[in-house]
Chain A
């Protein structure tokens, strides 16, 4: 397991947890929910830059490079897309909709780690 994967797991888990708690205690989109999915976006940017520098310097990955980058691009769009959709109706459920970002991005980072190193764990 890499440090990047560990950080990603923590960021995604915290975000999902915050969004769930905020679903229970706020009847509007909570600032903390929004900040938590922004943190996921930031993590993905750092992950992408790290991967870009490493691969740009000639390091190879175990799977297909274009599949890896397909995952990163999709993952980068996800928090933005979910945020825009969640803000269509600003209720309690906005927080629950945003909690999906952490769950899905965790699975995607897991797959990216598999493509990158051959195994995520």
Chain B
């Protein structure tokens, strides 16, 4: 079992690199894949010769990049939902309206906009998208550190929680980690390398 898993991993790398050279792979793995993974595992060693170049040839928005884009997408949706809930003037007794806390609510909306921009830019492969993604991720990093520090120094200004408040405490501090992962990913997939 252990051996089979290892050769599958090699096979996976080879398959990845083949996928990249052929553009995006629309279909073909789902129905027969369990079977083919088993039958091709014997030839895994042969494919692994192609594996070393994989890191460079995997597009930015595939492989592990899919995961990073998913994380950004989830934050784009949840930050947007939170900003929408906070800013829309729904009539209810306990809800803080925009006029009462314009700073915290504006920062929530700004965070949502940055996440949406970063998600879209990370998901595209053009040179322009790389630059937009870099700017968005840097703004996000400055935002989460800046707003996080601000909420620590002047908590009285932030009686209503904002997305980046206390370095993203409400979201398990993931907003603090995410820009560093995004930046790492962007620099691993620099423009001039592709």
Contact = CB atoms under 8 A, between A and B. Distances in A.
B29 A85 contact: no
A85 B25 contact: no
A15 to B, nearest CB: 15
A74 B90 CA distance: 19
Contacts, number: 77
Contacts of A26: 8, 34, 37
B8 A88 contact: no
Secondary structure call for the B interface: helix
A51 B190 CA distance: 49
A88 B24 contact: yes
11 contacts: A25-B8, A26-B8, A30-B34, A74-B81, A85-B73, A89-B24, A89-B25, A91-B63, A93-B64, A96-B67, A100-B70
Contacts of B37: 26-28
Nearest to A103: B74
A16 interface: no
Given A67-B85, A70-B81, A90 B25 contact: yes
Interface of B: 5, 8-9, 11-12, 15-16, 19, 24-25, 27-30, 33-34, 37, 62-64, 66-67, 69-71, 73-74, 77, 81, 85, 90, 92, 95
Contacts of A29: 29-30, 33
Contacts of A100: 67, 70-71, 74
A27 B62 CA distance: 14
Given A91-B12, A91-B19, A93-B66, A64 B92 contact: yes
A92 B74 CA distance: 20
Interface in A70-99: 70, 74, 78, 81-82, 85-86, 88-94, 96-97
**Leading 10 A-B pairs by shortest Cβ distance:** A27-B12, A28-B33, A90-B29, A28-B29, A89-B62, A97-B70, A92-B12, A97-B66, A93-B66, A93-B63
